[in-house]
Amino acid sequence: MKLFIPGPIWCRDEVLKEMAKQPLGHRSKHFTTLYLGVLEKLKKALNTQCDVHVSTSSGSGVWELAVRNCARKRVLSCECGAFSNKWGDVAELNGREVVRIKVEPGKAVKADMVADALKKNQVDAVLYCHNETSTGVTNPIAAVAEVMRDYPDVLFLVDAVSSLTGIELDVDKLGIDIALASVQKAFGIPPGAAVFTASPRAYARAKEIKDRGYYFDLLAFKSNAEKGQTLVTPCEPHIYALNYQLDAMLAEGMANRYSRHKQMAEVVRDWARKNYALFPEKGFESNTLTCATNTRNTDISALNKELLAKHDCVISDGYGELKGKTFRIAHMGDMQVSDMRQLLQWIDEIVGL
Ligand SMILES: *Cc1c(COP(=O)(O)O)cnc(C)c1O
């Protein structure tokens, strides 16, 4: 089945085959060589001098890591939909005070809002979602990064779960302390692992914090990775898959990869504008998924039933309270422009557009 939902995403057979290899002893030289290679390739693909780590968890685990290691007491949570809201909740569940900026679904969290909130509130870190998957909004992170420059003690923690490797994110230039992503989104790998960058400032902050826990202790990630090791038995199938996918990404070229995502997005957006309407605020539409307003009241579950029966694929209904009011089509990972055109043609035939 081909999943056009914004995670998990359809994966190439070659990626699945990599994951079917025999396990390695995770303290063996063979594993260390594989893992150090993967970490190097991640740095190259993400174009960063920061360390990059792999977590045997989904992206939400790294939400928890970021908060526990980088915030002593209080965070500013920038919320524009279900996923960014949830990160604020996770901070609260981990005992942090949470100051929230909340905008309506479909809107972006702008730099002036962040500047205003930082003027009024003393916080240890800002939680910012690069690409809000529930509304298809890409937030203006470069402008927010400018604001962050005036607050060198406030760490910049970024959820790039559904954008990393699909939409360019210049971690070093933007001064991002932690950027995190799940592999089942733009990486084009089955779910079960997450990837994150960590800046020297993030490590320094973690050193000040005693209560970092065990599984998501940032300093344990650092000391183990330096030896090509992991704290616990890692998700080896995903590390094989990352190794394979990163080679493919670097062969494609990251600039080409970002431009392919943009091209796919343009095809889907043009179609959505013509037949429905775009849900995100103009100028903030995501290049990894399109969220359309369901102006025709198309029955999305009926549409999916037919897509599944006739073409072995599905798209995504709106998320949470946006169910029925919007629908989402993912265009990320290893999908091609031709896949998107084919999908849209099938939808046209079923809906009668
Ligand atoms: C999918 C997603 C998450 C949650 O990731 P999991 O891997 O399910 O933990 C968080 N944030 C965003 C923006 C997402 O798209």
pLDDT of residue 306: 98
pLDDT of residue 270: 98
Looking at this protein, which amino acid is placed at residue 104?
A: E
Domain ranges (residues) in the chain: 2-6+253-351, 14-251
Q: Any alpha helices (H) in the chain, and if so which ranges? A: 13-18, 29-46, 59-70, 82-93, 111-120, 141-148, 200-208, 218-225, 236-252, 254-275, 300-311, 337-351
pLDDT band at 339 (very low <50, low <70, confident <90, very high): very high
Q: pLDDT averaged over the chain?
A: 98
User: What SS3 state is found at 101?
Assistant: strand
Give the chain's largest Cα–Cα span.
60
Let me know if domain 14-251 sits in CATH 3.40.190.10.
no
pLDDT of residue 58: 98
| Best of 132, 134, 137, 185 for a ligand 1 pocket test (most atoms within 8 Å of beta carbon) | 185
Stretch 184-200: mean pLDDT, rounded? 98
pLDDT at 1 over 90: no
Q: What percent of the chain has pLDDT over 90?
A: 99
CA 185, CA 333: separation in Å to the nearest integer? 7
**Cβ of 350 less than 6 Å from ligand 1:** no
CATH code of the region 2-6+253-351: 3.90.1150.10
Give Cα 97 to chain centroid, integer Å.
24
Cα 221 to ligand 1 centre (Å): 21
Cα 28 to ligand 1 centre (Å): 32
- Interval 9-67: pLDDT, tens: 999 999 999 999 999 999 999 999 999 999 999 999 999 999 999 999 999 999 999 99
CA angle 224, 160, 1 (to 5 degrees): 100
Cα 352 to ligand 1 centre (Å): 33
Give Cα 227 to chain centroid, integer Å.
27
pLDDT at 187 over 90: yes
Residue 54 CA neighbour count, 13 Å, CB half:
31
CA 302, CA 351: separation in Å to the nearest integer? 10
Phi, psi of 223, deg, nearest 5: -65, -35
Q: By the 8 A CB rule, do 294 and 302 touch?
A: no
pLDDT band at 253 (very low <50, low <70, confident <90, very high): very high
Q: Is the pTM of this model over 0.85?
A: yes
Measured from the CA of 130, which atom of ligand 1 is nearest?
13
**Cβ of 140 less than 6 Å from ligand 1:** no
Spell 329-340 as b/e; 16+ CB within 10 A means b: bbbbbbbebebb
CA 47, CA 35: separation in Å to the nearest integer? 18
- Interval 89-130: pLDDT, tens: 999 999 999 999 999 999 999 999 999 999 999 999 999 999
